[in-house]
């Protein structure tokens, strides 16, 4: 779910990123990124991410804190709606 190459981290998120799943996802991603301090760009593939709540959004903002260039690609309608609702959509590069 995370692949690091050429100072870029490629992350794939799927299913629900909610209050139950977010802590585990956050732990995994942080562990991987701490070992790769040279990462300058994080790209999240959200093709199969169907739902995100405040816990999931905190994970995304945490990634952005680690690397200012954090992008979310293939964001689904429901997830996009939550990003817009909270204003977090403005802080990320989204496609």
Partner 1 sequence: MKTIKLTNTLQSISEAVERVDEQLRAYKVKQEDRLRSTLTLEETLVKIADSMAETEVPIFIGIRRTIHRVQLRVTVAGPEINFATDTLLSDSETLLEEYGPETENLIRDLILRTNSERIRTRYAKGVNRVDILVSQNEKAMLYETTAALVLGVSAGLIARLLCSPSVAAGLNEYLFSPLYSLFLTAIAMIMVPMVFFSLVTSISGFGDLSALGRTGGKVFCMYLITTLIGILVAIATNALLMPGRPGMMTLPESVAGGESSMHLSLMDKLLAIVPDNFVGAFAGADMIQVMFLAVLIGVACTQIGQFSLPLKTAFESLSALFTHATSLISKFLPYAIFGAMAQMTLTMDVNGIGALASWMGVSLLCIVLQFLVYVLLLMFVGRLRPMPFIRKFVPAPLTAFFTSSSSATMPTTMACLEKMGVSRKVYSFSVPLGANINMDGTSLFFMVTTLFMAGLYGISVDVSTMLELIMSVMLISVALPGVPGAGTAALLMLFAIVGVPAEAFGIVIGLIPLIELFETALNVTGDGVVSAIVAKSEGEMDLEAYYK
| Residues near partner 1 (CB under 8 A) | 16, 18-21, 23, 51, 53-55, 57-58, 61-62, 64-65, 77-78, 81-82, 85-88, 90-91
Q: Which among 23, 30, 80 has a CA at the least distance from the CA of 50?
A: 80
Nearer to partner 1, 3 or 47 (CB): 47
User: Alpha-carbon distance 11 to 41, whole Å?
Assistant: 11
Strand (E) or helix (H) holding 28: helix 22-34
Query: Residue 9 or residue 17: which is nearer to partner 1 going by CB?
Result: 17
Measured from the CB of residue 90, what is the shortest distance to partner 1 in angstroms? 7
């Amino acid at each position: 779910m995370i692949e690091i190459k050429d100072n870029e981290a490629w992350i794939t998120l799927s299913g629900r990123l909610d209050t139950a799943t977010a802590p585990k996802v956050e732990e995994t991603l942080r562990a991987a990124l701490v070992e790769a301090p040279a990462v300058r760009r994080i790209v999240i593939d959200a093709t199969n991410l169907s739902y995100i709540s405040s816990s999931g959004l905190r994970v995304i903002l945490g990634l952005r804190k680690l690397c200012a260039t954090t992008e979310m690609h293939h964001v689904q309608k429901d997830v996009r709606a939550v990003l817009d609702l909270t204003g977090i959509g403005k802080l990320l590069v989204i496609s």
